[in-house]
Structure 1
Amino acid sequence: MSCTIDHSHDEVRQKLVSQHEYLPKEIFTGVEILLQSNLDQERLNQIFHLLKKYDLASEDEKLHRNRSFEKLIEENGAG
């Protein structure tokens, strides 16, 4: 999941807010906490792309993304 565009902290936060109603509560809260820390660009891009079009993803894809979110949250101590 590589991207040539670096997404700003604000872009990631806006994307999180736009997908809020589609995300499980614990994922939303965990990512919100993550965004309060000083994340590197790679993490910001990773979160942005997990959030991108989350609402349009299949149930299987959402489960896959949720596992990725949970791993990120756990690795960064936000869970």
Structure 2
Amino acid sequence: MSECKLNHTHEDVKTKYESQAAFLPEEMEPLFNQFFEKEHTQDILNEVFHLLKKYDLVAEEEQGNRNNRLYLVLNNV
């Protein structure tokens, strides 16, 4: 993934999640619900946004890589 210089808001991440939720593993839903109940650093918000960005369009292997990273982030915030 390329680095982006934009800072994404909590609402940006939530909107991106909602647009990609149907393509994500179902067991991530409660983790995202917990994620959105808290405040997070700008780095975390940007990372989650970019892991979700175009999730539905990437190859299955890349989805697996992103899932692993999302689980790591969501379980540790």
TM over 0.5: yes
User: What pairs with 1:18-57 in structure 2 (closer than 5 Å)?
Assistant: 18-57=19-58
Shift of 1:3: 1.9
Aligned length: 76
Q: State the alpha-carbon separation in 1 of the partners of residues 73 and 13 from structure 2.
A: 15
- Give runs of ≥4 in structure 1 deviating > 4 Å: none
Unmatched runs of 5 consecutive residues or more in structure 2: none
TM-score, reference length from structure 1: 0.88
1:2 to partner: Cα distance: 3.1
Listed as ranges, the gaps of 5+ residues in structure 1 are none
CA RMSD of aligned residues (A): 1.1
Letter in 2 for 1:59: E
Percent of counterpart pairs with the same letter?
34
